[in-house]
Amino acid sequence: MLNVILAIVVIIALTILIVWAIDKFIPKKLKPIINLLLWALIIFLGYITFMSVYKEIQFNQLKVDRYKVVINRLIDVRDSELAYKEVNGAYTDSFDKLIEFVENGKVPITQRRDTLVLDEEKTRAFGGVETMKTITLIDTLSFYFVKDSIFKGSNRYKTMMNVGVGKAGAKFTLQAGKLDDISVFEASVDKAIVLDGEEKYLIEKEKQAFSIAGVKGPTVKIGSMEEVSTNGNWGKDLSNKQ
């Protein structure tokens, strides 16, 4: 946008200079012709300036619309991964496994409670004097189906691997592993895929974005393979869900 503003300032300055030069040096007989050419030039430059600004406005609206689609799908992936880990103890890097789990998986609803039991070791150490200790028990109360809980009757989980906008047929990259013995995952897609079909210079500019609002960096992603996080790299302006 700064480049566009500078271009407008330069065009205005050049126009003033040309008008002054015509008035100063061009014979009166040639002035009408020169004026017509000048007006044509001004209109042409004005059109180019307008289109450069308008294209960026259109691009900014389009990227927001596409990002919202991608972000909603990434949140579905994240929520499914969290449920998968709760049952299996780790995340998965396979969409096939994740979809099958959502289709058929059940997550236990548990209750933690503390209770007193005999501490046999301390009782022996104290010559038979009964000594109690507190332990935590986890009771399974019931189960809930992942499909019903997260997707509430929708079957969109069957296509959550698809980016859904931009380059036709594009899919998210899904990774999973360990970081300091802690399970981590990351689902991501390159911004160039999401914004496919737009001007390359606008896409490259967007991939370098690091503002608090919008999407930071060259990809749209949720989770991380470099830190323990299940957050996305976008601002609150792009999603109501986190």
- For 169, half-sphere exposure in the C-beta direction (CA atoms, 13 angstrom radius) is 0
pLDDT of residue 212: 66
Are 139 and 121 in a shared domain? yes
> Whole-structure pTM over 0.75, yes or no?
no
- Are 124 and 80 in a shared domain? yes
90 lies in the same domain as 190: yes
* Domain count across the chain: 2
Buried b (16+ CB within 10 A) or exposed e, 58-79: ebeeebeebbeebbbbbbbbbb
**pLDDT range class, residue 209, cuts 50, 70, 90:** confident
* Average of per-residue pLDDT across 196-216: 86
In terms of residue numbers, what domain contains 32? 2-56
30 and 71 share one domain: no
pLDDT tens-digit readout, 46-64: 777 766 677 888 888 999 9
Residue 176: how many CB atoms within 10 A of its CB? 20
Q: What is the DSSP letter of 218?
A: S
Q: What is the pLDDT of residue 81?
A: 96
- Judge if 84 and 146 occupy the same domain: yes
| Domain shared by 17 and 132, yes or no | no
- What's the CA gap between 71 and 220, in Å, rounded? 8
Which has more confidence, 32 or 215? 215
Contact between 199 and 59 under an 8 Å Cβ cutoff? The reply is yes
Let me know whether 118 and 188 are in one domain: yes
Question: Of the residues 40, 56, 72, which one is the last residue of a structural domain?
Answer: 56
Q: Residues 28-38: what's their mean pLDDT?
A: 73
